[in-house]
Chains A and B, each alone.
Chain A
Amino acid sequence: MSYIEVKNISKTFRVSKRRSGIPGMLANLVVPKYEKREAVKNISFSIGQGEMVGFIGPNGAGKSTTIKMLSGILFPDSGEITCSGVIPYKQRKNYVGRIGVVFGQKSQLQWDLPVIDSFELLKAIYRIPDDVYKKNLGRFTEMLDMSGFINQPVRQLSLGQRMRSDIAAALLHSPETVFFDEPTIGVDVVGKEAIRSFIRELNAQDNMTMIFTTHDMQDIEKTCNRVIIIDKGSKVYDGALSDIREHYGSSRSLDVEFMTDTETAPIAGVETENIDARHKRFIFGKDVHINDLMSLLLQNYSVRDINISEPDIESIIRKIYSGEGAA
């Protein structure tokens, strides 16, 4: 049963075209020239309740625009969005009370005041009943380990502490759907891990639907079971993260260290790369069985160490972005 339903949405922005030089600036002033930029082109997908979905794509690919339409900030030019029966940009007040949004780059906390004051303000804004507020506050304070700084002004917090407070702030009203826009940006490794495990735990406990945009593939690998890749305004991939490897990651590699300096004979279907006299890398596609290759090597040469590496997601994504992705 789909919870969020997106059908053929498109969004075009009119951007003023800048001409260079002083004559160009003057010309802009008198006759501004506009060009159309299609930020989102005919994207469709549906998301089930409780799903965790990551949106990825290079800068300017249209992810932010898509998220902004999903959260009701922007109107799509064409197409339809419904979220549990509500049209976000038409029934704004009804809709936004049921979602939470975390902008990693833009805090919603009161800069000069203790964190708890921002929470109190949100309680009033979202009309959160006392018992719900108390329960959520207690729970998040513990899960995100906020008790040490909840009474400190936001301006004195570290980035990791601020981010945790911001995440709690977006969840106080028990939203059904949460949007995370770069929720770990600038946070150190330990902090990132704490945030990810909190998100996973919360998803398991409350069955919240969660949508992420991030450039950190680790965020996606550790939280989402599904990714939607957007490039140049269009959806280029939608499916399980693990399937990306099958789809795009056609080549694996075997790094071999030999006992002595060794020259190997060419092997069919395998590309050989010399790292140094004793190290070689064998790169092969799906049609070569790893068993066959290994036994061939072990039989013919004296091998000290073998290391198989799967293509890492990040380099596959890089390939997709640069348009090399072949299914």
Chain B
Amino acid sequence: MKDTLHLMAVYTKTTAKAWFQYRVDAVLRSLAVFLREATGIIVIWFTLLKFDTLKGWDIYEMLFLFSLLFLTYGIMIIFFTGLRDFGKTVRDGSFDRFILRPRGLLFQIIFVNSDWFAAIGHGGLGLVLFLLSAGKVGIQWDLFNALYYILTVAGGVLIQGAVFLFLAALNIYLLQTESLKEMLYWNMRKFAGYPISIFNKFIQIIMIYVMPFAFVNYFPAQFLLRKSDMAEYPELYLYLTPIIGIVMYLAAYCFWRFSIRFYKSSGN
């Protein structure tokens, strides 16, 4: 255990050192990610200035909804960069090197690289949105709600991590799953910025049961905000985020363990 923590520290130090080799670029890229994502928010801001509310959600409540999405992604990407880029790792044969080292494969993939640009860009935006909205949406920040918030963020991180892990495992068979990720993850994520109740049934079903972004931000936000549109969904859903996170992650992990046996390295 001590030894594992030590290795994690050395990996992190190495990543950070490599990062600081290009200081200016590091700052600019984080900023670029931040601005790219913020643009979308600014558009919504001005749209809502015209309409006031969206199915009862005002602008600050919407920002709170968004903040969960960005915060969880920012935290998730610190740990799952290696899985996000796993297709490349398999294609260029670097995965062989992981196999040749006496450490857990998933452990190495997770700690060998962290995309701090994305982490700071997304996480930073999430934090800014949280600070902008948290005081204005009428949430009592007592111990219970704070604890709920922390658990639910952890659940949201696991849900998205599970999707990345699942897609990474799929890479072993398909070599490339970028388009699938684009379709399943990034497209669905665009819907997740809004209260899902504004969409038609089909999209709602996907958001709840297929690519469960609803549990990353909609239901947790509902727990804290209690908007009227929650009446359309079972009360139970407010509490499921951490459980769904754990279950999805375990399922993805089992699929990963199963798939890794089929790995055939690229010839050279």
Contact = CB atoms under 8 A, between A and B. Distances in A.
Contact of A96 (B11, B102, B267): B102
B10 A121 contact: yes
A71 interface: yes
B93 A106 contact: yes
Interface string B1-22: 0010011001100100110011
A120 B10 CA distance: 8
Contacts of B268: 64, 105-106
B110 to A, nearest CB: 14
B102 A112 contact: no
Interface in B191-233: none
B21 A112 contact: yes
Nearest to B101: A125
B3 A127 contact: yes
Nearest to A65: B267
A126 interface: yes
Interface string B242-258: 00000000000000000
A93 B17 CA distance: 28
Interface residues of B, number: 25
B97 interface: yes
B18 A126 contact: no
A209 to B, nearest CB: 16
A13 B100 contact: no
Interface string B75-103: 00000000000000000011011011111
Interface in B15-40: 17-18, 21-22
Nearest to A93: B102
**Max chain A C-beta neighbours (<10 A), residue from B6, B94, B103:** B103
B55 interface: no
Contacts of A112: 18, 21-22
Nearest to B22: A112
A104 to B, nearest CB: 10
A191 interface: no
A74 B262 CA distance: 9
Given A64-B268, A106-B93, A125 B21 contact: no
B145 interface: no
A92 B267 contact: no
Given A64-B267, A64-B268, A120-B10, A110 B18 contact: yes
A259 interface: no
Contact of B100 (A65, A73, A120): A73
Interface in A33-68: 39, 60, 64-65, 68
B103 A117 contact: no
A167 to B, nearest CB: 15
Given A73-B265, A125-B7, A153-B21, A96 B14 contact: no
A4 B97 CA distance: 21
A13 B104 CA distance: 26
Interface string A107-135: 01010110001001100111100000000
A124 B100 contact: no
B107 to A, nearest CB: 10
A274 B7 CA distance: 69
A153 B18 CA distance: 10
A206 B1 CA distance: 32
Contact of B265 (A74, A125, A153): A74
Minimum-distance CB pairs A-B, first 5: A97-B102, A124-B10, A112-B18, A93-B102, A124-B7
8 contacts: A64-B267, A73-B100, A92-B99, A93-B104, A99-B100, A103-B97, A112-B21, A125-B103
